[in-house]
Structure 1
Amino acid sequence: MYTVTTLSAFLLVIFSTCQFVSGIAINKRIAVPAGYVAPPYYPTPHGGWISDWSESYRKASLLVSNLTLAEKTNITAGSGIFMGRCVGNTGSALRAGIPQLCLQDGPLGVRNTDHNTAFPAGITVGATWDKDLMHRRGVALGEEFRGKGVNVYLGPSVGPLGRKPRGGRNWEGFGADPVLQAFGGSLTIEGVQSVGVIATIKHLIANEQEMYRMYSLVQPGISSNLDDRTLHELYLWPFAEGVRSGVGAVMMAYNAVNGSANSQNSYIINGLLKDELGFQGFVMSDWLAQISGVASALSGLDMSMPGDVHTIPLLGNSYWMYEQTRSVLNGSLPLDRLNDAVTRILATWFQLGQDQNYPPPNFDTNTQDAEGPLYPGALVSPSGVVNQFVDVQGTHAEVAREIARDAVTLLKNSNNALPLKPNATLKVFGTDAEKNPDGINSCSDQGCNKGTLGMGWGSGSARYPFMDSPIDALNARGASYQFFNTDSFPSNSDPSANDTALVFVTADSGENYITVEGNPGDRTSANLNLWHNCDKLIQDVAAKYSNVIVIIHTVGPVLMEAWIDLPSVKAVLVAHLPGQEAGNSLAQVLFGDVSPSGHLPYTIPTSESNYPASVSLVNFEVGQPQDTFSEGLYIDYRHFNKENITPRYAFGHGLGYTTFSFSNASITSITPLTATPPTRPAKGETPAYSTSIPPASEAYWPDNFNRIWRYLYSWLEKSDADAAAAVANTSAKYPYPDGYSNEQKPGPAAGGAQGGNPALFDTAYDVSVTVTNTGTVSGRAVAQLYVQFPPGITFDTPIIQLRDFEKTDVLEAGASQVLSLRVTRKDLSVWDVVSQNWVVPDVAGDYGVWIGGASDTLGLRCGTQTGSCEEGVASPV
């Protein structure tokens, strides 16, 4: 058995060797295609110039002015992987009353803890098309994270956007459209932060597949290559809305953009996020995504998570902490940049009121035991109570169940096969109908597809407090059923003419550190097919039963052509990823307690060949893999419409047990349009500090300090600190990147407030529409609003683009409700890469404002030029 000393020496030798190999690998590059550039943008804009944040920055600046150098660097980095109760733990400055901050996954619930709610996944929330539910889930998430003592909620996810249908983490977001993502993300942020928890919008940006996303010993992370217009109009759009909602933190993605790693991409962080979008909070790396020290700081990174180097963690090595202290002392890193990073973190802490009565962590993400090591990543660690098992669930199961129910999407319902009769005789097939027989939390981070699929796998998962499975729901209803817990058709099912067969099938995906059934995060083995050969299960059931209902729990689109048109397949429901509330929520729809009201948050194709080749997964390359977004704006329904491809089911599609009409629409001009927005507001004042390098003594180790090996600290040995300070007085200079400057900019024309120029969000047109339940049972409808740009403009634009949506209350048969929607200046603009601003391409042109229940059933058109609306017109697609 290794002793601590010999193991340490061994690991250090391995680390040194791997660092050398890593350097070789990372420096070997494949050229980014011509035209895709990551221009330099320096310096990092100071935070604090937005009036909504000025008081928080004032408070933060008072603290920062009195912190030592080591205290500042301690706040900007994590203490190391597995070095605390939370997945991320910053350093502290206890002398100034600043505690460690606890950062914790994930988007659908508090990860790796107990007595929490496992909420439906983001893709399920998107399928509700319900803004109120989006916000209520955010509030409930915030209450649970606060109740567990988490300062920073690592969600919501709006990137990946869903460009690649087989992308592993699409399910963490809200759908394959920037506006649907934007509402889901911003309303989640507003809900979470309403209870004082810092939300983190992620992953900035263009992180559209799992494989090869990370910089490693073997190769650099994949480079997502995309043009400036596509970046603004698709991928940046939901982040802009999140910043506009006041989000406190932004997490950078692992991958590169146009050849520059996101964690040190000055154009993305400094230029787009902090200057153009006016982001006032702090920017963190994803876990082990930081690949440099000074370079990442200069590019705008404010917090390193979890603090270790990206190559081999857990050896006490860091790009920041003590190295950042050294970098300031030797003059490499301007103190101005460190001061701004610390101020941003503390201002966010104040902005969310966490300086007043905020609870400390009461759980440990590393163990379910009551007692254990305080620093599990250390070879030798003190122990103590690490889990208090605080119940934070409250009544949150109710909102979770409501989301799961209202997301259920009815795709097909021949001969009114649904709803089921109360006395129906059911035969139930498929392992997805019942809980994982090994235990609902038997697979770490849900890294398996056994039993009812409630969420994908990875850091975006959570532990189930319980799982209400479909079988549980049938039992609770006293339904007459026989269950065959297999994904192969059994020989003993004894079909009867009066039977209704329910077939439960799945498609799963997740994060790339876990491979499940040959799928390394992305769906590579399964592609877009159902898992466990369930296409054949459906076919076999349909061959024996005349009334078959297919229920799909899935992370995204699945191919249905092998069985969708079989005469016996009467109905198809997509239940998405319902979390813990998979059973009763579905049963309420199956048995007609409620009419299904979910709508697809993505397109379902007839074949993978329906998609452009550029959205396929990128495979291994020696050097940096290149993923070029050559399809531009044309992803998902935008692509299908452009190429005149009829999908199996269109984006926004969803049936109910009743029908609705859209009528009596009106459009009213609110803010007159101009070709470009009014001049942006000027930046306000920001905190000012001394820029003199502090004395080396501010970095000396405290006397009699008990160090934990592998724990990351910000102090230096006296000799190291003195040596670094001496360098600052020599002619040696840090090789600053091309384009580097320390002179603050007034900001681009497209900026001016959180989210961009505030005039972009002015309402250009108010639109109202009357929705009437024309069927025989009660139900809810979604009014989807799409914009069509005028013909003849010089910009190529998709035929239609989603811009707003609203969902009705439950309407009784014959009842109506007037819904109000809006179209903003930005909704009618395109990004002009020449002027670097949003422009309305034809101020006097007739923009078509289309309203309907799905992207392919738009029969009501309002014209901005005529100011009138018409019903019964031919859909534009």
Structure 2
Amino acid sequence: MILYRSFIQLCLIVIFTSRSVSALAIEKRIPVPAGYVAPPYYPAPRGGWTSDWSESYRKASMLVSNLTLAEKTNITAGTGIFMGRCVGNTGSALRAGIPQLCLQDGPLGIRNSDHNTAFPAGITVGATWDKDLMYARGVALGEEFRGKGINIYLGPSVGPLGRKPRGGRNWEGFGSDPVLQAFGGALTIEGVQSQGVIATIKHLIANEQEMYRMYNLFQPGISSNLDDRTLHELYLWPFSEGVRSGVGSVMIAYNAVNGSACSQNSYLINGILKDELGFQGFVMSDWLAQISGVASALAGLDLSMPGDVHTIPLLGNSYWMYEQTRSVLNGSLPLDRLNDQVTRILATWLQMGQDQDYPPPNFDTNTQDAEGPLYPGALFSPTGVVNHFVNVQGNHAEVAREIARDAITLLKNVNGALPLSQNAAIKVFGTDAEKNPDGINSCDDQGCNKGTLGMGWGSGSSRYPYLDSPIDALKKRGVNYQFFNTDNFPSNSNPSPNDTALVFITADSGENYITVEGNPGDRTSANLNAWHNGDKLVKDVAAQYGNVIVIVHTVGPILMEEWVDLPSVKAVLFAHLPGQEAGDSLAQVLFGDVSPSGHLPYTIPKSESDYPESLSLVGFQVGQPQDTFSEGLYIDYRHFNKENITPRYAFGYGLSYTTFTFSNASVTAITPLTSVPPTRPAKGETPSYSTAIPPASEAYWPSNFDRIWRYLYSWLEKSDADAAASAANSSNKYPYPEGYSDVQKPGPPAGGAQGGNPALFDVAYDISITVTNTGRAAGKAVAQLYVQFPSGNPLDTPIIQLRDFAKTGALAVGQSQELRLRVTRKDLSVWDVVSQNWIIPNLEGDYGIWIGESSDALSLRCGTQSGTCEEGVPSPV
């Protein structure tokens, strides 16, 4: 049932845009605005030139040298949608010991599996501001994916960055700041890959809304138009850190950037990712994002997923597989490019040690039955045991619970309304307090907002093994409560002056192949308001009860102005998206077992008009929809600070049941700086192969081979292979794109290693600070470090920018802990569009290093010029 429903959903995506059937009438493409360009960058840089990958490339080159043409092309594409046990399945080269590779969603847990953990979403992890928990979640995810025999984890997500507050998939990432996203993504990668699982950082790049993102038969995907500084200083920053952490795979986005589809944008893949950032792994398409064959290969795409064409992916057609075999034989695709594709994939497989005792898949994403079709997308398929129901949860519920608990963000607490007494008389309102009555996994890919909201919907979701709801936690504690399972204020609640009312409200979003309550992924119907008339429910309860606590499960910012200042609303908690551990994690904070220590990973405005107009969702446009990032660097708190707009709650804000002081700060210069980084290291050697086109016989179908309908194969009929080989000698040559070259480049000055020039990551300043608990309860504090560029800076920069953060352990009353933070060369640099390098624009200027508990509460300043720190200084914003 799920399989056929997925087929129908897929067909609808292909045939229609996400909002309007009127998109069928497309006559011309809207040109990209002047000044936004995607220049050609060829050829694709070969991988293997960094020393930390050289041994894996040496081993991979030995394998590749012995593969046939058809075996090589078989490895570079998926075998077709629904044509295997995983959401993506590569071809294999079993003769050489190379198995199919299993690719599986998603960022917060294994999608469509069993006996797995449904972890808190990325946005919840970001709200912890805890690097240790970011890494621990990555390790736990890696253990679970490996335990299920999954080779490639399709996460973490750091794009979208959260530029648009109503964007459907912001919740999969870690927050609306590139540094917060970068730490969340990099630490997740390091944790996952510590278990031998290949991580996939996604989606490159500027994939900031769900509507109109995909190319289809009738309309090109949306073009995200952004300038070079904005690209580097905001959207590329988390990807750079992910590459620096050694990520094995990068997933390309559906949309275009500056008019060129990401899947064949040579400047983006070849120039930025593989050359400037020194990415050594392989680049894959998002599912059905590939829109060409040879062009995408030349532009640097290495792996096509799931292998089918993007137009009608139901007929067994592919841009690669057999077509790529043909393209090599007829000379249109240089063998050198194919060899690099295969080498990158196999080097990554070897880099993670997956050639040694790695388990095969033991689950099937297409069915929950023990037995089923081996190739569900085929008309006729052999069957067998596909699910072994392997329990991979271990003790991961503890990690999930700690993240859910430490992410809870206290935004308001009048006169110590929280924590609650165990003896409090409690009335609970709102369906979000209890599990979905239809079943916790009753909606495919969590495509509904019923019951406790633990995650958004779409491919980034996971099935719950169980869901510990807030009501479950209240029952377990034995507190005195009465629950009204409705989103309308009931007439029979019988308010009493001694009652405390807990009101649960939500805001949901997800991926655009599912529309929930009129929201096609992005929050279009609900806008930034609470769902299910949540604002009215809070106001109605507040009119009858004198002590109201509002608890919000949300994908991002919501508007609160209708009720947040009501006298009866004594406290507000954002519990974000807690995953399976929604109940006890909340109860521990509500009843004071622990003090809340979460901080907002985004700004909460007073009105949606507080944002610049360019951050609105782009609606239907004839031709290619254009989304121009005219606000540049000024998103989220950067914009609010620039325009002197006071938000309802600032980025990084979060209260506690206790208080902290920051003192004894010191700043120490570590690395002498120059305005331009030292010269980058030269590239090392890369594998080399014969460039002679192989004989057509390497592409012939094996004799007596039993073919599966719709399964994608890399072989050609003998006549087709021979004809392709003959075409290589004809006078008709492939029309290579403008700017094409087959001469390898030495690389841009900003490159030199994974993540860029290694000098960029030299520590310029060490900062130490003492945090002391000066209140009445134990608690954890977060120290946030922002950099302010000196006056006289010739380039426009935001007033403050987050550059580092650290979280204490649980400090007892009176206890202190020293935290250490750092500022790197890159943290003090801007991207120079002329020299195409990172520069420090005012080397002799006094950079302000500000430390505080949120972006609007910075009272401790260290100066790079004086080398001293001051307390009690007026905040820069």
What TM-score results when the alignment is normalised by the length of structure 2? 0.97
2:830/2:840 contact within 8 Å kept: yes
Contact in 2 for aligned 1:604/1:649 (Cα 8 Å)? yes
Q: Unaligned 5+ residue runs, structure 2?
A: 1-10, 16-20
What is the one-letter code of the residue matched to 1:197? V
The one-letter code of the counterpart of 2:399 is: V
1:245-299 CA distance string (max 9 Å, x none): 0000000000000000000000000000000000000000000000000000000
Paired with 2:22 and 2:613, the residues of 1 have a C-alpha distance of 32
Structure 1 residue 622 displacement after superposition: 1.1
The answer for the alignment partner of 1:263 in structure 2 is: 263
Question: Deviations for 1:108-166, whole angstroms, at most 9, x for unmatched residues?
Answer: 00000000000000000000000000000000000000000000000000000000000
Q: Is the 8 A contact 1:168 1:511 kept in 2?
A: yes
User: What is aligned with 1:93?
Assistant: 93
For 2:287, the equivalent position in structure 1 comes to 287
Task: Kindly report which structure 2 residues correspond to 1:703-782, keeping only aligned pairs within 5 A, or say none.
Answer: 703-782=703-782
Amino acid at match of 2:446: Q
1:633-680 deviation line (CA, Å, top 9, x unaligned): 000000000000000000000000001111110000000110000000
Mapped partners of 2:624, 2:23: distance in 1? 13
CA shift in 2, pair 1:24/1:504, >3 Å: closer
How far 1:28 moved relative to its partner? 3.2
Q: Does 1:632 align with 2:638?
A: no
The answer as to 2:618 corresponding to 1:597 is no
Give the total of aligned pairs. Answer: 861
Matched residues in 1 for 2:43 and 2:230: separation?
Answer: 25
The answer for the alignment partner of 2:675 in structure 1 is 675
Is the Cα–Cα contact under 8 Å of residues 26 and 622 in structure 2 kept in the other structure? no
- Superposed displacement of residue 29, structure 1: 1.0
Matched, 1:523 2:519: no
Tell me which residue corresponds to 2:349.
349
Find the aligned partners of 2:513 and 2:312 in 1 and give their Cα distance: 15
Q: Which residue of 1 aligns with 2:172?
A: 172
Distance in structure 1 (CA, Å) of the matches to 2:272 and 2:222:
21
Residue 112 (structure 1) aligns with: 112
1:698 aligned counterpart, secondary structure: helix
CA distance in 1, matches of 2:244, 2:543: 54
1:478 aligns with 2:478: yes
Contact 2:427 2:500 in 1 (8 A): yes
Mapped contact 1:22–1:218 kept (Cα < 8 A): no
Q: CA deviation at 1:314?
A: 1.9
Query: How far, CA to CA, are the matches of 1:377 and 1:229 in structure 2?
Result: 44
Aligned equivalent of 1:783: 783
Task: List per-residue Cα deviations over 1:587-623 (Å, max 9, x = no partner).
Answer: 0000000000000000000000000000000001110
2:568 match:
568
Contact 1:671 1:764 in 2 (8 A): yes
Equivalent position amino acid for 1:496 in 2: S
- State yes or no: 1:875 paired with 2:866: no
How do 1:635-654 residues align onto structure 2 when only pairs under 5 Å count? Answer: 635-654=635-654
Which residue number in structure 1 is paired with residue 431 of structure 2?
431
- Separation in 2 of the partners of 1:301 and 1:436? 42
**Residues 552-563 of structure 1 correspond to what in structure 2 (within 5 A)?**
552-563=552-563
How much has 1:24 moved relative to structure 2? Answer: 9.8
**How far apart, in 2, do the equivalents of 1:385 and 1:300 lie?**
38
Task: Find the aligned partners of 1:697 and 1:25 in 2 and give their Cα distance.
Answer: 46
- Aligned residue number for residue 331 of structure 1: 331
Inter-CA distance 739–527: structure 2 relative to 1 (3 Å threshold): same
Give, in whole Å, the separation in 2 of the partners of 1:55 and 1:164.
42
1:201 Cα deviation after fit = 0.1
| CA deviation after TM superposition for structure 1 residue 61, in Å | 0.1
CA contact (8 A) 1:26 1:215 kept: no
CA contact (8 A) 1:200 1:248 kept: yes
RMSD (CA atoms): 1.3
Give how far 1:817 is off: 0.7
- 1:342 corresponds to which letter in structure 2? V
Aligned to 1:275: 275
Tell me whether 1:862 sits opposite 2:862 in the alignment: yes
- For 1:383-394, list aligned pairs within 5 A: 383-394=383-394
Match for 2:596: what amino acid? P
After the TM superposition, which residues 791-810 of structure 1 pair with which residues of structure 2 at under 5 Å, given as runs? 791-810=791-810
Identical columns (%):
85
Deviation string, structure 1 residues 8-44 (Cα, Å, up to 9, x no partner): xxx9xx99xxxxx999988831000000000000000
Return closer, same or farther for 1:294/1:600 CA change in 2, 3 Å cut-off. same
Give the AA of the match of 1:587: A
**Cα distance in structure 2, aligned partners of 1:23 and 1:351:** 45
- Asked if structure 1 preserves the Cα contact closer than 8 Å seen for 2:799 and 2:876, the reply is yes
Alpha-carbon separation, structure 2, partners of 1:55 and 1:727:
38
Distance 1:174 1:71 in 2: 39
Alpha-carbon distance in 2 for matches of 1:539, 1:563: 6
Deviation at 1:306, TM superposition (A): 0.1
Specify the code of the residue in structure 2 equivalent to 1:410. Answer: L
Once residues 713 and 316 of structure 1 are traced to their aligned partners in structure 2, the CA distance between those partners, rounded to angstroms, is 9
Structure 1 segment 151-162 matched on structure 2, within 5 A = 151-162=151-162
Residue equivalent to 1:508: 508
> Which SS does the other structure have where 2:579 is aligned?
coil
Matches within 5 A, 1:807-826: 807-826=807-826
Q: Kindly provide the CA deviation profile for residues 790-827 of structure 1, in whole angstroms up to 9, marking residues without a partner as x.
A: 01111000000000000001101111111000000000
Aligned to 1:312: 312
**1:32 corresponding residue in structure 2:** 32
Distance in 1 between residues matched to 2:734 and 2:528, nearest whole Å? 50
Contact 2:64 2:72 in 1 (8 A): yes
Corresponding position of 1:701:
701
1:55-66 aligned within 5 A:
55-66=55-66
CA contact (8 A) 2:23 2:622 kept: no
- Give the C-alpha shift of residue 217 in structure 1: 1.6
Any unmatched runs of 5+ in structure 1? 1-10, 16-20
Residues 161 and 175 in structure 2, CA contact (< 8 A), matched pair in contact too: yes
SS in 1 for 2:437: coil
Distance (whole Å) between structure 2 residues aligned to residue 731 and residue 235 of structure 1: 44
User: CA–CA distance in 2 between the matches of 1:320 and 1:478?
Assistant: 61
Would you say 1:243 and 2:211 are equivalent positions? no
Distance 1:415 1:607 in 2: 27
Cα separation, 1, equivalents of 2:793 and 2:491: 63
Normalised by the size of structure 1, how large is the TM-score? 0.97
**Could you say which residue in structure 2 is the equivalent of 1:340?**
340
The answer (yes or no) to whether the contact 1:25–1:217 under 8 Å persists in 2 is no
Aligned position for 1:300: 300
Q: Which residue of 2 aligns with 1:420?
A: 420
Cα separation, 1, equivalents of 2:467 and 2:23: 46
1:129-148 counterparts in 2 under 5 A? Answer: 129-148=129-148
- Are the equivalent residues in 2 in contact too, given 1:22–1:311 (CA < 8 A)? no
Q: Please tell me the residue identity of whatever aligns with 1:80.
A: G
Displacement of 1:218:
2.1
Distance 1:26 1:453 in 2: 39
* CA distance in structure 2 between the partners assigned to 1:27 and 1:368 by the alignment: 45
Partners of 2:491 and 2:504 in 1: how far apart?
18
CA distance in 1 between counterparts of 2:553 and 2:24 reads 44
Aligned partner letter, 1:635: I
Map of 2:409 onto structure 1 = 409
Q: What residue identity is the alignment partner of 2:453?
A: L
Aligned mates of 2:141, 2:475 — CA distance in 1: 30
C-alpha contact 2:777 2:812 (8 A) present in aligned 1? yes
* Misfit runs of 4+, over 4 Å: 21-27
Residue 337 of structure 2 aligns to a residue in which SS? helix
C-alpha separation in 2, matches of 1:22 and 1:407: 43
Give the residue type in structure 1 aligned to 2:238: P
Which string of whole-angstrom CA distances, capped at 9 and with x for unpartnered residues, describes residues 831-853 of structure 1? 00000000001111100000000
Counterpart Cα distance in 2 of 1:253 and 1:235: 13
Q: In the alignment, is the contact (CA less than 8 A) between 1:36 and 1:226 conserved in 2?
A: yes
What secondary structure does 1:583 align onto?
helix
> Judging changes above 3 Å, is the alpha-carbon distance between structure 1 residues 270 and 26 closer, same or farther for their aligned structure 2 residues?
farther
Contact 1:26 1:217 in 2 (8 A): no
Question: 1:34 aligns to what SS in structure 2?
Answer: coil
